[in-house]
Amino acid sequence: MAKTPKFANAKVFAWVDKWNKVCTPDRIVVVKGTKKEHHDICEMMVKKGQFVKLNPKTRPDCYLARSHESDVARVEGRTFICSKREIDAGPTNHWMEPEAMKKLMLKSYKGCMKGRTMYVIPFAMGPIGNPITQYGIEITDSPYVVVNMDIMTRTGDAVLRHLGADGDFIPCIHSVGAPLKKGQKDVAWPCAKRIEDKFITQFPEERQIWSFGSGYGGNALLGKKCFALRIASKLAKDEGWMAEHMLILTLTSPERKQYHLTAAFPSACGKTNLAMMLPKLKGWRLQTIGDDIAWLKPGEDGRLYAINPENGFFGVAPGTSMDSNPNALKSCKKGTIFTNVVLTPNGDIWWEDMGVDAPVEGIDWKGNPCYRCVDDKRRMGPRPGMTKKEVKESGYVAAHKNSRFTAPAENCPVLDKAGFDGIWKGKPTGVPIDAILFGGRRPSTIPLVNEAKSWTHGVFMGSAAGSEVTAAVISDQIGQVRRDPMAMLPFFGYNVCDYFQHWLEMERTSPDATKLPKIYFVNWFRKGDDGRFMWPGFGDNSRVLKWICQRIEGKVHAHVTPIGNLPLESDIDLSNNEGKFKVVPEDLREILKVDKEGWKKEIATVGASYDEYDAKASKDTEVRSKTARRVPKALRDILASLASALNR
């Protein structure tokens, strides 16, 4: 057995020592967080066939990994919130009694790191030393996780130094669940192959994270969804702040006025794209602070101040092109890890809708050869000589739909460095937020942009959010619309109804509620009868952001409708409406309307989701109060008045 290394912090030592005894790794490495260490681990993985080194001329310090076919996205069906009582996990989460879960998982962990190295990753969520920042220790047997965590969070010695002898941290344990027998050769992507052997478990009361069996994304990089959303949302509720699935951006108007916006869209629904967008409107400048997670704390002045707890981007590759998101592509120029994309013969990468010609021949995400289509240079098929139509009908893609890049934030050409460092006006407060956007992929009904009439109405809008399920999760419901309140459905660390109540409380407890951000609901994804998008999206979304800023300034009027305040068509700036994708004025008119019949159905669906949440509370005999763990009355009231207005 390996000897547990010394740590100045007794709690860190205890955490590592405990898992050393359970997992029995061959050796233990404490991650220092240096460039050399990162490089050495990547090169070690190349030697073991777990990474492909990309062409250092075109992609310096970049690597490609291919995951196992069973391990390509988050596994919501195997994600658990293990609070002591089921009702505290709520109606949207899978639950198991904590001690029962630990017993079960300990069986899996027993000897699970035999033949492997146990890495200990000290990491910070947020700039080290910032008052909003939190710390973690992730134990893992996956070098892939180490180098990804290295990009996605601030890791290493600096964190241990900050923790000192008794600093607090969130303890995390992760194993791919694939011990090696003596002399057994490792595979390219070790993991537990059967879905029922994977566990992504949060213990919100003890504030621990136990993950087993998967090496992919949010399942394994435990700082991200498990910590910064599930555990942090619980911390935030207890302490009066918010942990949200939101991008953060800085927008500067031609008059040089700065605005900070956050936006909560479900997985693979456009956060990274909006966070780095190149505005089509002249004179407007957009900068990135974060692309996935925001922690917001109320300031004494009543404003909400936000930091991005992450240090990199774990972005969706397919669809990322110089047309759609040049800043994301530029962020991937160096020091980036690509997972499940196509390898080209000259050691570069490719994916569908990258906006560049596919190589004549390449290696697809499964490691098999793939070939450029005969009639489309921008498509690849599994056999030579195929047409685009044949490939489309077969459902084949050369890069997995949830293939991703892990890129350092510092690579982003439009990074708002001060905001990213959590600094505002020289102080480490995070940036003050002017507007919060909710959104989702909605082919019908939901207008381009809709302004909430009040904070409570905005909370209602968030609670009512729905979206088509994307490939970011392993699911048989991809493409179907599901309710995804605040884009947090997979990430609530506690009861969704308490979470709604917490949002409402942010207004009630605010030192000055008039300073809270204004709330909007946007939809870039309306489709016509012919299936085409009715809004060009991407850089054209700046037209909507401008309208939002003008509303904040009180410069433009709006149509006050039962669903919310909608723009007058003439207030959407259509200057510079040229290029490959354009706003079609007839379509714009359509997506700014209230579709009364569609909304009646929408309201019924929202009501059904509320009823489903409440049904669970009714079953819990221990719920004494009549209102707790139920959808707050304030939201029910808005639903009812909206229903009656639509039926008038």
Enumerate the active-site residues: 269
> CA angle 443-449-455, nearest 5°?
120
Dihedral sign (CA 48, 49, 51, 54): positive
Candidates 65-73, 232-240, 271-279, 600-608: pick the segment binding ligand GTP (CB under 6 A). Answer: 271-279
The number of residues that bind Mn ion (CB under 5 A) is: 2
CA angle 75/215/322 to nearest 5° reads 85
Q: Which segment (4-12, 128-136, 140-148, 534-542) binds ligand GTP by CB under 6 A?
A: 534-542
Taking the C-alpha atoms of residue 467 and residue 448, their distance in angstroms, rounded to an integer, is 14
Query: Phi then psi for 148, rounded to 5 degrees?
Result: -75, -45
In the set 51, 135, 499, 524, which binds ligand GTP (CB under 6 A)? 524
**Residue 274 touching ligand SPV (CB under 6 A):** no
Residue 88 vs 310, nearer CB to Mn ion? 310
CA dist., res. 440 & res. 420, Å (int): 25
Minimum distance from CB of 266 to ligand GTP (Å)? 7
Q: Is 224 in the site for ligand SPV (CB under 6 A)?
A: yes
What b/e sequence results for 280-315 when a residue is b if at least 16 CB atoms lie within 10 Å of its CB, and e otherwise? bbeebbbbbbbbbbbbbbbbeeebbbbbbbbbbbbb
- The span of 217-225, 281-289, 360-368, 449-457 binding ligand SPV (CB under 6 A) equals 217-225
Q: How far is the CB of 527 from ligand GTP (least distance, A)?
A: 9
**Percent of the chain as helix, strand, coil, to the nearest 5:** 30, 20, 45
Closer CB to ligand SPV, 327 or 339, in the complex: 339
DSSP 202-266: EETTTTEEEEES--SHHHH-TIIIIIIIIIHHHHHHHHT-EEES-EEEEEE-TT--EEEEEEE--
Q: Nearest-CB residue to Mn ion?
A: 292
| Residue 533 binds which entry of ligand GTP, Mn ion, ligand SPV, none, CB below 5-8 Å type-dependent | ligand GTP
Please, which residue, 76 or 292, has the CB nearer to Mn ion? 292
Other Cβ atoms within 10 Å of 74 Cβ, number? 24
Is residue 327 near ligand GTP by the rule CB under 6 A? no
CA-CA distance, 647 to 557, in Å (whole number)?
A: 26
- 318 lines the binding site for ligand GTP (CB under 6 A): yes
Contact stretch for ligand GTP (CB under 6 A) within 28-36, 93-101, 266-274, 339-347: 266-274
Q: Which stretch binds ligand GTP (CB under 6 A): 109-117, 122-130, 250-258, 531-539?
A: 531-539
- CB 229 to Mn ion: min, Å: 9
Residue 280 or 303 having the CB closest to ligand GTP: 280
Q: In which order are the strands placed within the sheet that holds 63-65? A: 52-53, 63-65, 337-339, 404-408, 312-316
User: Residue 432 binds which one of Mn ion, ligand SPV, ligand GTP, none, with CB within 5 to 8 A depending on kind?
Assistant: none
Cα maximum dimension of the chain: 75
User: What burial class does residue 387 get, using C-beta atoms within 10 Å of its C-beta: 0-12 exposed, 13-18 middle, 19+ buried?
Assistant: middle
Residues 310-369 that bind ligand SPV (CB under 6 A): 314
| CB 127, CB 295: distance < 8 Å | no
Q: 493 with 236: CB under 8 angstroms?
A: no
- Written as six digits, the tokens of 164 are 């000192």
The verdict on 336 binding ligand GTP (CB under 6 A) reads no
Does 201 contact ligand GTP by CB under 6 A? no
564 binds, among Mn ion, ligand GTP, ligand SPV, none (CB under 5 to 8 A by kind): none
- Residue 318 contact, options ligand SPV, Mn ion, ligand GTP, none, Cβ 5-8 Å cut-off depending on partner type: ligand GTP
Residues 470-509, mask of contacts with ligand SPV (x by CB under 6 A)? --x-------------------------------------
Q: Which of 599, 629, 537 is nearest to 93 (CA)?
A: 629
Give the pairing of strands 258-264 and 247-252: antiparallel
* Main-chain dihedrals φ then ψ at residue 263, nearest 5 degrees: -145, 130
Q: What is the 3-state secondary structure (H, E, C) of 142-206?
A: CHHHHHHHHHHCEECHHHHHHHCCCCCCEEEEEECCCCCCCCCCCCCCCCCCCHHHCEEEEECCC
Report DSSP letters for 19-36, one per residue. HHHHH--SEEEE----HH
272 binds, among ligand GTP, Mn ion, ligand SPV, none (CB under 5 to 8 A by kind): ligand GTP
- 8 Å CB contact between 314 and 327: no
- State yes or no: residue 533 binds ligand GTP (CB under 6 A): yes
Stretch that binds ligand SPV, among 207-215, 216-224, 524-532, 541-549 (CB under 6 A): 216-224
The tokens for 510 are 């605010």
The window from 139-147, 318-326, 334-342, 423-431 that contacts ligand GTP (CB under 6 A) reads: 318-326
Q: Figure out which of the listed residues 38, 59, 68, 74 binds ligand SPV, where binding follows CB under 6 A.
A: 74
Q: How far apart are the C-alpha atoms of 536 and 581, rounded to whole Å?
A: 6
Helix (H) / strand (E) containing 451: strand 449-451
Contact with ligand SPV (CB under 6 A) among 225, 303, 401, 526:
225
Of residues 439-478, those binding ligand GTP (CB under 6 A): 472
Residues of span 504-543 touching ligand SPV by CB under 6 A: none
Measured distance CA(596)–CA(607) in Å, rounded: 16
Q: Is 272 in the site for ligand GTP (CB under 6 A)?
A: yes
Q: Is 198 in the site for ligand SPV (CB under 6 A)?
A: no
- Select from ligand SPV, ligand GTP, Mn ion, none the partner in contact with residue 546, using the beta carbon and a kind-dependent cut-off of 5 to 8 Å: none
- Pick 159 or 268: Cβ nearer ligand GTP: 268
Q: Is 269 among the residues that bind ligand GTP (CB under 6 A)?
A: yes
Q: How far apart are CA 246 and CA 42, in angstroms?
A: 30
What is the smallest separation between the CB atom of 310 and Mn ion, expressed in angstroms?
Answer: 10
Rule CB under 5 A: is residue 292 a binding residue for Mn ion?
A: yes
The residue count for binding ligand GTP (CB under 6 A) is: 22
Closest to ligand GTP by CB, 208 vs 308, is 308
Q: How far is the CB of 294 from ligand SPV (least distance, A)?
A: 13
Dist. CA 200–CA 79, nearest whole Å: 5
* Pairwise CA distance, residues 142 & 174, whole Å: 8
**Site of interaction with Mn ion (CB under 5 A):** 267, 292
Residues of this chain that interact with ligand GTP (CB under 6 A) are 265, 267-273, 291-292, 315-316, 318-319, 324, 472, 524-525, 533, 537-538, 541
Residues that bind ligand SPV (CB under 6 A): 74, 217-218, 224-225, 267, 292, 314, 472
